[in-house]
Structure 1
Amino acid sequence: MTSTTTPRDTTVLDRAREVVLDRGEALGYDDIVAVLNTPDELLPDLLALAHDVRLKYNGEEVEVEGIVSLKTGGCPEDCHFCSQSGQFTSPVRSVWLNIPELVRAAEQTAATGASEFCIVAAVRGPDAKLMSQMREGVKAIKEAVDIEVAASLGMLSQEQVDDLVDMGVHRYNHNLEAARSYFTKVVTTHSYDERWDTCTMVKESGMELCCGGLVGMGETVEQRAELASQLAELEPHEVPLNFLNPRPGTPFGDLEPMGSSDALRTIAAFRLALPRTILRYAGGRELTLGDLGTRDGLLGGINAVIVGNYLTTLGRDPREDLALLDELQMPIKALNATL
């Protein structure tokens, strides 16, 4: 008896290849949903397609960034994934860095080969004290080290946007966090529209916009596709992709981490939805993907990484990421290439 095998149905990938790789268009919502439902047997082909898209529209270079928290903990907002909220019992307490500590962190980041240093504060939005400290800190960093400075300080007014531009902040991070339809399950103390408005002001100011979100927070596959589509509509310069790392004491602390196959499908889907955007590995990849998955993601659409630790969770040793990039023959983007 002659054995037969069922041919693989590659319709989804054929469609994605035609739309994104051949025609140069972003994948739409329905196609993103289809990609996120790709069976495991097609995952290697999907990652290869996403990698081809990354190389065609973004080149082989990888942008490396370090981050530091200027003000940690005590945030008044109730983002259910975040241990920095003052409303939860998570063991993170309010701490401020002084300017010399900030400069040292920037110098350490530059020593890894990173081209960008992001200053983050756990606040709803910056007050006068924080804006003053930012001005002093950015000035001190620029005098001490050759690195671009980014910021993530919550929701902004137009005056604050203008002040950050005047300081020389070249990129601002403000994530949508979740799809509009799932947002109230994640945050109740501010609205999706407030986040969107800050992102719009940043884009109009001339600063680069860094805007992404988290996946694995209990959202459906369709809501994951919705987030990718809404980010594509916003057209940020960079999208950091975070995977939930459940933190004790938060409302999402008991959720199971996303499986590695779903995480890799998500990376590929976001690349196909945002073919020309910097897609950055951010928080949670160590838990969700591990060493092997981290490699697969770099070969599946990722073209930027945060090195070192995150705001309240540990990351990989920067030397491990840099060694992996070297092994994969992925050059680090030079500082002047980010200007």
Structure 2
Amino acid sequence: MTTVHTVLDDAERIVLDEGTPLDVERVLAVLELPDDAVADALDLAHRVRMRWCGAEVEVESIISVKTGGCPEDCHFCSQSGLFVSPVRAARLDIAELVEAAKQTAKTGASEFCIVAAVRGPDERLMSQVEAGIAAIHAEVDIDIACSLGMLTREQAERLASWGVHRYNHNLETARSFFPTVVTTHTWEERQQTLTTVADVGMQVCCGGILGMGEGLRQRAEFATELAAVNPHEVPLNFFDPRPGTPFAHLAVLPATDALRAIAAFRLALPRTTLRFAGGREITLGDLGARQGILGGINAIIVGNYLTTLGRPAESDLDLLAELKMPVKALDAAI
């Protein structure tokens, strides 16, 4: 009979001592731990993070250059043009983009991510992004990431040549659950973009959303599928129901389940940057930010998200200072 003692002792030996990710069955066992074992799982996840990643926390801000009007039907997303939601299509100009990058740098963030709600970038968007990156680099010392949907190899090569060091394209959920979440493109199409991104030398940022109705086994599958992509960074989002979307009726993930997942994903991804992203405020509240940072999280998106409000940047930075977790400096290699 598998016990809490066995699950965590095995994880400590495999992950903490050896640096080897947990397989799907062991990740599932962590996700099935009883509530009174969650604190011990988070403690182990924190020790894994400190050993294999260090104490530094990477801070990032994101901004959308094109909001709404997306042709895809991601059932969680209020930016889809196929759903009736409060989000309306809008675009930022270059001056607004540069100002946002400046404000991001003032928070101490080392990365600024340019996002667009599209299936993939057309030439107009690519040209806007190129001009925006050049303008930001001329005025702001900050790393630039992008999230522009599915890419061709030629588009990925261009982004890399403009100095984009990291590209975000989320798998969103387990391969087995993906058709329940999206029908206008496939999990495999997303995976191909990630392969292309890695091939051209950009860092891979790939995560997803927990709490969209997937089972615990599918959650475990997702963690190990992400590990197989070998991402530099995994943003963990927690489902936040958006009005007008097909998933608007789903409940918010219970906080204890979210904390269990943070520990499990750290144990599946011991050497990866694990980033707090959307939904943590509604799922975990202020206490959850502390528990996550002391439970395996080593990166944060500060400020607001694409269509939802986040915590004030100052709150997260004050917490990091209180916990004596240094903010990662700008990557000198970029």
TM-score by length of 1: 0.97
Aligned partner of 1:308 among 299, 303, 306: 303
Aligned partner of 2:65 among 70, 75, 82: 70
Question: Are 1:208 and 2:203 counterparts?
Answer: yes
**Does the Cα contact within 8 Å between 1:210 and 1:236 map onto a contact in 2?**
yes
Q: 1:176 to 1:305 in 2, by over 3 A?
A: same
Question: Are 1:173 and 2:173 counterparts?
Answer: no
1:9 & 1:207 partners in 2: Cα distance? 40
1:39 & 1:18 partners in 2: Cα distance? 21
**Does the Cα contact within 8 Å between 1:115 and 1:338 map onto a contact in 2?**
no
**Percent of aligned positions that are identical:** 64
Aligned partner of 2:41 among 18, 43, 46: 46
Q: Which has the larger radius of gyration?
A: 1
Aligned to 2:22: 27
Aligned-pair CA distance for 1:9: 3.9
1:135 & 1:60 partners in 2: Cα distance? 34
**Does the Cα contact within 8 Å between 2:4 and 2:33 map onto a contact in 1?**
no
Aligned-pair CA distance for 1:244: 0.5
Aligned to 1:5: none
Aligned partner of 2:123 among 95, 113, 128: 128
Consecutive unaligned residues in structure 2, runs of 5 or more: none
2:149 & 2:19 partners in 1: Cα distance? 34
Aligned partner of 2:162: which letter? M
1:191 & 1:337 partners in 2: Cα distance? 37
Q: Deviations over 1:154-199 (max 9, x none)?
A: 0000110011011111100000001100000000000000000000
Aligned to 2:138: 143
Aligned partner of 1:97 among 87, 92, 96: 92
Aligned partner of 1:187: which letter? V
**Does the Cα contact within 8 Å between 1:175 and 1:195 map onto a contact in 2?**
yes
Runs of 4+ aligned residues of structure 1 deviating over 2 Å after TM superposition are 336-339
Aligned partner of 1:244: which letter? F
Aligned partner of 1:289 among 273, 284, 289: 284
Aligned partner of 1:330 among 321, 325, 331: 325
Aligned to 1:17: 12
Q: 1:226 to 1:95 in 2, by over 3 A?
A: same
1:270 & 1:186 partners in 2: Cα distance? 21
Aligned partner of 2:76 among 81, 96, 116: 81
Aligned to 1:119: 114
Question: Are 1:154 and 2:149 counterparts?
Answer: yes
TM-score by length of 2: 0.98
Question: Are 1:264 and 2:273 counterparts?
Answer: no
Aligned to 2:193: 198
**Does the Cα contact within 8 Å between 1:279 and 1:304 map onto a contact in 2?**
yes
Question: Are 1:227 and 2:218 counterparts?
Answer: no
Consecutive unaligned residues in structure 1, runs of 5 or more: 1-7
The root-mean-square deviation of aligned C-alpha atoms, in Å, is 0.9
Aligned to 2:245: 250
**Does the Cα contact within 8 Å between 1:179 and 1:227 map onto a contact in 2?**
yes
Aligned partner of 1:152: which letter? S
